[in-house]
Amino acid sequence: MPSLLILNGPNLNLLGTRQPEVYGRITLDDINALCAAEATRVGYTVDCLQSNHEGALIDAVHAARGLHGGIVLNAGAYTHTSVALMDAISSAAVPVVEVHLSNIHARETFRHKSYIAPVALGQICGFGAQGYVLAIQALVAHLGSGDGSAP
């Protein structure tokens, strides 16, 4: 069965207790379980990985080549700073859908800039955990459903 990588960046391990007024009470484990359920529904498996380290996220993007059909990426604050992560996505040539729990365009100006967006298939933000489910659906629409039939 084809697989997707659910990749989360810095501070997202603290979901559930981190600024609940912005990010809600859902934990990263809950989000990963949601992703696994949606992936199963559409014929995919998921690997879920979180790191607070930029280099580890870059390594994960490189390692996805040939292993995962696509990546759902919430790069957290590295979204707004990391040319290196942007380059990794361009170099690995694995399709990425960018996700944010919050609507980054309705927040501070420094969050409006995304280095991921220009190299992603698209960006989903502002829908909380549901954004990850939408991102899986968008990736599968791009890749084709896991049973080999057209999406």
**Residues with catalytic roles:** 23, 100
Residue with smaller CB distance to ligand DQA, 101 or 138: 101
**73 or 140: whose CB is closer to ligand DQA?**
73
Smallest distance, ligand DQA to C-beta of residue 149, A: 32
Kindly list the residues in this chain that would bind ligand DQA in the complex (CB under 6 A).
11, 74, 76-77, 79, 100-102, 104, 111
Q: How far is the CB of 11 from ligand DQA (least distance, A)?
A: 5
Torsion, Cα 84 85 90 93, to 10 degrees, reads 140
* H-helix or E-strand spanning residue 57: helix 54-64
- Between 1 and 22, whose beta carbon lies closer to ligand DQA? 22
Helix axes 130-143, 28-41, angle to 10 degrees: 30
